[in-house]
Amino acid sequence: MRVVLVLAYNGTHFLGSQTQKSSKNTVLGQLEKVLHQLGIKEKVVASGRTDKGVHASYQVVHVDLPPFWDDLTKLKQVLNEMLPSSIAVKKVYKVTNDFHARYSAKSRVYRYIIKVGASNPFEANFVTFMDDVNFTTLKQNIKLFLGQHDFMNFMKTGSDTKSSVREIYKAFAYKHKDCIVLNFEANGFLRTQIRFMVGALLDLSAQQIQEKLNNTKNHKLRPAPANGLYLAKVKYKE
């Protein structure tokens, strides 16, 4: 039986979400460790990877269960008891055997959270603090990313990908209480792409962003810090 697990996690102390041979200190590494203890040996497949320090409020993974795990309510309870407190299983539900957490996904939604002012130890791992942000300019420039573009200048060097073309369905900014939230939805994202886009919004002019998107001039750019980024939703075909 194939099931979906919807996860939320604090990525601060993990080396990303994807299992690594050199370390089990990843989100999926911790999940697979607990699943193996429960007699579930099948590979866990996620909708996509998140980098070191990046969080998720809605990460989707699928796994095939052995016949003796037919009580999904019990499975969710046991997983939450055994997993580190920084990982929570929000939902467990059955899907068809042809469902694939990654390839069946229609789009992914990420949010980036910025707060203007001095950093504090209670929020430092979850919000990117800035001395000042021109919200009007940011709200206008984020729309430059809408549509299909070749994001070759907005991805980490050495990324293993066949194509750097992606389509951004939604890109907008809004204020929530004392935070600025940047929202991006696309058919997929390249490695570190969102952090580079946020970095561009914070450091480059509209013309410079457009030149990078058109691949006519590659302005120097640093990715925004990982701690402000959240995988917020994965949408699937009906």
Q: Which residues are catalytic?
A: 51
Cα-trace Rg, the chain: 19
Q: d(Cα 116, Cα 194) in Å, to the nearest integer? A: 20
| Cα–Cα distance measured from residue 42 to residue 101, given in angstroms and rounded to the nearest whole number | 14
Q: State how far Cα 58 lies from the chain centre.
A: 9
Burial of 160 (0-12, 13-18, 19+ CB in 10 A): exposed
SS3 94: strand
